[in-house]
Amino acid sequence: MLDLLITNANLPDGRKGQSIAVSAEKITEVAPSIKAEAEQTIDAAGMLVSPPFVDAHFHMDATLSYGMPRVNESGTLLEGIALWGELKPHLTQEALVERALAYCDWAVAKGLLAIRSHVDICDPRLLAVEALLHVKAKVKPYLDLQLVAFPQDGVLRSPGALENLTRSLDLGVDVVGGIPHFERTMADGAASVKLLMALASERGLPVDMHCDETDDPMSRHIETLTFETQRLGMQGRVTGSHLTSMHSMDNYYVSKLIPLMAEARMNVVANPLINITIQGRHDTYPKRRGMTRVPELMQAGVNVAFGHDCVMDPWYSLGTGDMLEVAHMGLHVAQMTSQAQMKACFDAVTENPANILGLQGYGIAPGCNADLVLLQATDPIEALRTRATRLAVIRRGRVIVQTPPTTAKLALAGRPETVDWRMK
Ligand code: FE2
């Protein structure tokens, strides 16, 4: 007797009419038509069943703090950082935990079951670190939360930051973070990369830096990050987040840089909702888009994910934890409109970030965890177009979220009674 049997499902790789059998929290079989007894059967009715959405870049310590103590008037990264600095002394662990848990509810309801969150360690109390370690343990049954020790004010620029960072790693934070472009000089930025990479290498930890989140084409810390990755033998374990300066870099320089990044097996996270609102703020017209060179990096074989980065915080006033909205924006900003590119945008919020987080047992194949999302769409491109309703979210074989299908009733003479925005 199976625990769960899903029938007549379309899969992201294009297979149609598939059954998925689940026992003891794992997928045991994926085949065109499985006939077996099961505790629960779900007829997917030709809809898409996907592995869960994954967000490789988020700030859970700041989320849902919009308006506290005021909103970001200029919309710039620097005002956001200043605003966060004003809010920090007033944070309490209890309120931070409450906001983070509320965001996790939103995320799970959108089929987002794994998040890598940066946590600001520039606070000798390590209040946010302790709060998010608590949240990580609390949400573990339904959401994988990975934490990055993030020196928001610069590991060299902010007094005591290195000590706070190592203390937070000792407490169990999973990944080493950084922010080289916020250090006082280019030289200090490069020195911070070398220092943090050495620390991560010593401890055997992955690295994920906010890197070159600026419109300055001369911000080239990704070059140092790539070089150190190669030198220390950390290929595949290092992520450059944002990399927005690459948008504005000289094409000749980039033609050297991207192959070096591919050689060092760098991971890249672009954050389209944030990059399109924060970058280009000093431009008049034409205004730069600011997002890094996503299709060119993918073309070169670099693993690229789209992250959400922010939801209702000092940097971004919108968002719901919907990774389809993130991918939809990424698709538009990068002009990734071919069929293959749109499919790649869906992968950028599922498989690609799962690789960055190093999630074990991710995917739809025998032996994988039975973590699945049933979408109100027949394929990944339709899911992106409609930001499809998550009809069911399944964690370890158990349905943890259900949402009614989205449909509208029409009262128009001679026209159908309902629409659901899907091509028939
Ligand atoms: Fe970020």
Please give the Cα distance from 240 to 266 (Å, whole number): 7
For 85, phi and psi rounded to 5 degrees?
-60, -35
CATH match of 2-51+363-409 with 2.30.40.10: yes
Measure 209 CA to ligand 1 centroid, in angstroms. 9
Measure 409 CA to ligand 1 centroid, in angstroms. 41
Task: Give the pLDDT score at 40.
Answer: 98
Measure 21 CA to ligand 1 centroid, in angstroms. 38
Letter string b/e over residues 45-78, b meaning 16 or more CB atoms within 10 A of that residue's CB:
eebbbbbbbbbbbbbbbbbbbbebeeebeeebbe
CB 98 within 8 A of CB 39: no
Measure 45 CA to ligand 1 centroid, in angstroms. 39
Please give the Cα distance from 181 to 331 (Å, whole number): 26
Classified by CATH at the fold level, domain 53-357 comes out as TIM Barrel (3.20.20)
CB 148 within 8 A of CB 208: yes
Per-residue pLDDT of the chain (424 residues; tens, 9 = 90+): 999 999 999 999 999 999 999 999 999 999 999 999 999 999 999 999 999 999 999 999 999 999 998 999 998 988 998 999 999 888 999 999 999 999 999 999 999 999 999 999 999 999 999 999 999 999 999 999 999 999 999 999 999 999 999 999 999 999 999 999 999 999 999 999 999 999 999 999 999 999 999 999 999 999 999 999 999 999 999 999 999 999 999 999 999 999 999 999 999 999 999 999 999 999 999 999 999 999 999 999 999 999 999 999 999 999 999 999 999 999 999 999 999 999 999 999 999 999 999 999 999 999 999 999 999 999 999 999 999 999 999 999 999 999 999 999 999 999 999 999 998 7
Measure 124 CA to ligand 1 centroid, in angstroms. 21
> Where exactly are the structural domains of the chain?
2-51+363-409, 53-357
Kindly report the pTM of this predicted structure.
Answer: 0.98
Identify the CA nearest to 2 among candidates 30, 15, 12: 30
Measure 385 CA to ligand 1 centroid, in angstroms. 26
Task: Give the pLDDT score at 69.
Answer: 87
Cα distance between the two ends of the chain: 36
Measure 314 CA to ligand 1 centroid, in angstroms. 11
Please give the Cα distance from 330 to 353 (Å, whole number): 14
Task: Give the pLDDT score at 423.
Answer: 86
Residue 232 CA, distance from chain mean position:
26
Measure 210 CA to ligand 1 centroid, in angstroms. 6
Strands 267-270 and 238-242: parallel
Active site residue: 73, 130, 213, 417, which one? 213
Active site residue 213: yes
